[in-house]
Amino acid sequence: MIWINLKRILYSGFVNFWRNGLVSLASVLAITVSLYTIGALMIGSAFLNGIIDEIKTKVDISISFKSTADTNEIEALKKSLEALAEVKEVTLITREEEYEAFKQRHQDNALLLQSLDEVGNPFGARINVRALDPAQYESIANFLNNEEGSLSVNRSIIDQISFKKDIVDRLSRIIALIKRVGLVISTVMICLAIFATFNTITLAIYISREEISVMRLVGAGNVYVKGPFLVEGLTAGFLGTLLALFGLYPSVAWVKATTINVFGGIDLVSYYISNFPMIFLVLLSSGLALGFIASYLAVRRYTRI
C-alpha cells in the first residue's frame, strides 16, 4: 500500500511538473544559475588558491651586495644561511654572472654595451634564498635584519635586501575579497532560486486548488495532498543540478585554455574531473535542498484548505 501511494505521489508530481511547462522551466533555470554559481565558486577557489601557491613557489629573499664586497664574506653569509633550518635553497650569483646576464638581456643595445665596457663591471654579487615554507620567510628576514649581530659577516657589504612578501599578501587579500564577493553572489542566486521555485509551486497549487479541495473532502491525507508538490520541487532541483554540471565543464575548459599561458601548471579540467564526485554531491544536495525548501514553504503556506 505504501509503495502504491508513493508511486501515485511521484507520478502526480512529475505530471504536474511537465504540465506547468514554462513556469517549471523558469524554476529549473533559476536553480541551474544558483548551482552553477556555487560550482564556479568551488572551482574558482581552487584556481585562485593554485595561483597563490604558484606565486609562493617563486617568492624568495634576494640579497644584493656592493660591488666592493669581499668574496670570502659573501661565502660566509651563504654558509650561515644554509645552516638555518628554515632554508631550502641558497643560490649565489657572482658579479661576473650578473654582468654577463645583463649584457645578454641588452645585447641589441650596442651603445649601452660600449658604455658598460668602458666603465667596467658595476654589479655586485647576489644571493637568492628560498624557504622550505613561505611562512618561514619572515624568520629568515628577521635573521638578516637582526641588529644584535647574529650574522658572522660585516653588514656593510650588503647593498639591499629584497623581500616580495608584500606582493603575496596583497594578492591574497584581493583573492579573499573575490571569494567574499562570490559568496554574496551565490547567496543572492540561492534566494532567487528559492523565490522562483516557490512561485512555481504556488502556481501549481493554485491550478490544482479544486482538485485539492476534492481530495480533502474524500479524506486524503496531508502526505498525498502535499507530496506531489514536493516532488515538483525536487525534480526542478535535480534537473537544475544536471544542467549546472553540463554548463561547468565547457566553462572550466575555456578558462583553462585562456589562462594556461599565464598560470601554467594549474589544470582546472583535471581538477574538475578528479573532484567530480565531490562537486556532483555538493551540487545535487544543494539542488534538492533548494527545490525541497521552496516547495515546502509554498505547500505549508497555500495548502491549508
Concatenated DSSP letters of 31-62? HHHHHHHHHHHHHHHHHHHHHHHHHHHH--EE
Q: What is the DSSP letter of 162?
A: E
Residue given cell 525536487 in the structure block: 234
How confident is the model over 214-234, as pLDDT tens digits?
Answer: 666 666 566 666 777 788 888
Instruction: Out of 100-109, 151-160, 218-227, 295-304, give the one with best mean pLDDT.
Output: 100-109
The pLDDT score that the predictor gives to residue 305 is: 47
In terms of Cα–Cα distance, which of 217, 203, 243 is closest to 29? 243
Q: What is the rounded CA–CA span in Å between residue 86 and residue 50?
A: 23
The pLDDT score that the predictor gives to residue 227 is: 76
The pLDDT score that the predictor gives to residue 153 is: 56
Residue 280 scores a pLDDT above 80? yes
Which of 69-83, 163-177, 253-267, 288-302 shows the lowest per-residue confidence on average (mean pLDDT)?
253-267
Residue given cell 502526505 in the structure block: 223
Residues of the chain with CATH 3.30.70.3040: 60-163
The pTM score is: 0.65
How confident is the model over 67-105, as pLDDT tens digits?
Answer: 888 888 888 888 888 888 888 888 888 888 888 888 888
Its CATH class, for the domain covering 60-163, is alpha beta
Q: What number is the average pLDDT over the span 121-137? A: 82
Q: Band the pLDDT of 24: cuts 50, 70, 90.
A: confident
Average pLDDT, the chain: 78
